[in-house]
Structure 1
Amino acid sequence: MKKFGLFLLGGIAAVILLANLGSMIGLAIGLVILYFAVKGFMKAETTSKKVIWAIIGIFAACAAISNVPALLGIAAAYVLYVVYKKWNGKKQDPGKDNDPFVNFEKQWAEMNRN
């Protein structure tokens, strides 16, 4: 039953991810353009160049803001990742401790016995 729930959750997340794929691409493009506009604005020495970079930055920010539904797609991608991890998750033995300090103490005790 747990696998069925994970399968159902993963299916819903996949549909949401595919539905928001276009807006995710638009958000990424808008943020990249905004990044380069800010860098260009900071490097510009004349006022006219700063104004041009500011206008480009404003348009890029508007494009990025208009693609806010892409955040649902990003959340769906994270849910798919969690479902994948839980689907293939391996249970650790409670008696087997992978703590490096515990292993260090065991090795130190072995060295002192010899």
Structure 2
Amino acid sequence: MKKLLLLLAAIVLVIIALSTLGPLIGLAFALALVFLGMHYYIKSRSVAGKMLWILIGLIGLVMAVSNVPALLGLAAIVLLYVLYQKWKGEEVSFSGKEQDDPFTNFENEWSKLQSKERF
């Protein structure tokens, strides 16, 4: 029963992600414009160039705000990833830490170093 519910949720999330594919592409393009505007604003030396890149960045920002439905698609993709991990039986962790204890991590790394042969 649990697998069936996970499968149904995955199907719904795939439909949501595919239906918001257009806004996702628009959001990616808008964020690229914002990034380019910021990048070239910093590199620009002239006042006219800086104003041009500010204008391009603002256009990208307005485009990004207008693609709010893309956030629903991003959430659907993240939830689809979480469901995939649950389907495989793995624990889902969004933190980069394996454990909080630094001594345990040191012992793991030390044992890896000791297991390697040195030439």
Q: Same fold (TM over 0.5)?
A: yes
Give the aligned partner of residue 83 of structure 1.
83
Asked if 1:34 corresponds to 2:34, the answer is: yes
1:46 Cα deviation from its structure 2 partner = 1.2
Q: Distance in 1 between matches of 2:42 and 2:68?
A: 26
Asked if 1:47 corresponds to 2:47, the answer is: yes
4+ residue segments displaced more than 2 Å = none
Structure 1 portions without partners, runs of 5+: 92-98, 105-114
Q: For residues 19-45 of structure 1, give each alpha carbon's deviation from its aligned partner in whole angstroms, at most 9, with x where no partner exists.
A: 111101110111011101111111111
Equivalent pairs, count:
95
Structure 2 portions without partners, runs of 5+: 92-98, 108-119
Who wins on radius of gyration, i.e. which is larger?
A: 1
Give the aligned partner of residue 71 of structure 2.
71
Give the aligned partner of residue 13 of structure 1.
13
Instruction: Provide the TM-score with structure 1 as the length reference.
Output: 0.76
1:68 Cα deviation from its structure 2 partner = 1.4
Q: Distance in 1 between matches of 2:90 and 2:26?
A: 37
1:85 Cα deviation from its structure 2 partner = 0.9
| Residues 3, 52 of structure 1: alpha-carbon distance in 2 compared, 3 angstrom cutoff | same
Q: For residues 2-58 of structure 1, give each alpha carbon's deviation from its aligned partner in whole angstroms, at most 9, with x where no partner exists.
A: 011101111111111001111011101110111011111111111111111111111
Q: Distance in 2 between matches of 1:63 and 1:7?
A: 34
Instruction: Provide the TM-score with structure 2 as the length reference.
Output: 0.73
Q: Distance in 1 between matches of 2:81 and 2:60?
A: 30
Q: Distance in 2 between matches of 1:35 and 1:62?
A: 13
| Residues 47, 6 of structure 1: alpha-carbon distance in 2 compared, 3 angstrom cutoff | same
Q: Percent identity?
A: 39
